[in-house]
Structure formats: structure tokens, C-alpha cells
Amino acid sequence: MIRAVALDIDGTLTDEKRLLYPEAVEAVQRLSSLAEVILVTGNVHCFTRAAAVLLGTSRTFIAENGGVISWGEGDLELLSDPSVSQEAYQRLKEVYPLSRMDSRYRMTDLVVEGNFNVQEADSRLKAWRLDADLVDSGFAVHIKDRRVDKGRALGKVMERLRLRKEEVAAVGDSISDLPMFKIAGFRASVANAVSELKSESEYVSEFEFGEGFCDIVDYMATEEMI
């Protein structure tokens, strides 16, 4: 049986404009009555906490693509040094016309618009031997510490909550979700997910965005996984 579900937000509960799919709220609440729902997102801590409150999910959640873990009200753990992202940003800015997005509430990473060759820039970071990498979520490009990701953070949560791999499901859409898919026992993706995520999924919904998430919850219930 699945005891916990690691759940992405943007592109999984929302559409391409980050608008929340109304039926997804009901599906999250239904899921929360059967398993612990752990939000795992690239969003900042304050946004994720607000989402957890509004959706009624666990106050244990992961923000900033694994850079921040919330263990409860006022109990935070930072897994990344923000200076790593800052140095990478300054170096890349010398080469690319980076357009920085609002990062005032970010604790570990920063975000820029995807108006440059992300793959090429990521290769430059490796060549410069910086401990940073780039993650394109489809909504923004995150400059983050290479040593942290959603999988590492989820692994720490699983250890503390004493969750076995087979007791954890992961649901997402983006390449940033791939690390948490690697350590979850059941993986499901929505139809708009990147191909790399779909290839790691036991179930791929035929529906996109929040509608796809609702379908995944129905599938898990039908298969008596929750």
C-alpha cells in the first residue's frame, strides 16, 4: 500500500499558465484522506506552505527543487548554499542576456527566464567546475546547487518518516521530477510530462495537467494502491 505521495505542483495540479485545476483540489483532498501528500516543487517555501494550507496537505514538504525541506511549522532544513547559485548566475550573465525573475523569497536557488540556450549554459557550468546546474521546469529556469535535487530531499523525508520505497508514489510532469521518480516505488506522470519522465512511469495519464492528476488518483484507487 502507498503511504505517501510526493506531488509536484506546476504542470501537475495546474495548467501551463499556473492556474489550479479546480477538480484537482478535490482529488488532493481525497488522496490526503488515504495517504500523506508531500508537496515537492520548485516554488519557494512561503508559496509551498500556502499551497499546503489551502490544499490540506502535510506540513512536511519540499521546496526550491530540493533545496528546502519543511518539517513542520517553523522547522526548516536548507540543503544548499545560496552562494553557489549566485556565483553561477554572475558567471553566466557575462555570456548570456539573463533576465532574472523575482527571487526575493528564495533561500537556496534563483530563477531566470528561459531566453537562452539552457543546455549550452549548463555545459559551461560544468566546464567552469562550478557546483551549480540548470533545471528548466517549463515555467522558469532554476539555477541551483548541483548536489541537491528533489530526489535527495525526498530520500531524507522518507528516512525520517520511515517510509520504504514501495510505500511511496511520485507524480509529476517536469525533468526536475526525475530524481524523485528514481527513488519512488510507484511513478505516474500526466500527459504533458517530458518524455524522460514518462519512460520512468508505471502509469501515464492520457489527460494533461490537473485533469491528468485526477485520473492518476482514480487509477491508484482502482488498483487498490491507496
CA 215 to chain centre: 19
Confirm whether 215 is a catalytic residue: no
> Any idea which residue has 548570456 for its cell?
96
* CATH 3.90.1070.10 for the 82-145 domain, yes or no: yes
Given 8, 122, 149, 177, the catalytic residue: 8
Kindly tell me the sign of the dihedral angle through the C-alpha atoms of 99, 101, 104, 108: negative
pLDDT of residue 83: 94
pLDDT tens digits along 131-141? 999 999 888 99
pLDDT tens digits along 45-80? 999 999 999 999 999 999 999 999 999 888 999 999
pLDDT of residue 137: 86
20, pLDDT greater than 90: yes
What is the CATH code for 4-79+148-222?
3.40.50.1000
By C-alpha distance, which of 49, 96, 87 is closest to 68? 49
Whole-prediction pTM: 0.92
pLDDT of residue 73: 84
pLDDT tens digits along 74-92? 899 999 989 999 999 999 9
- Give the residue extent of every domain in the chain: 4-79+148-222, 82-145
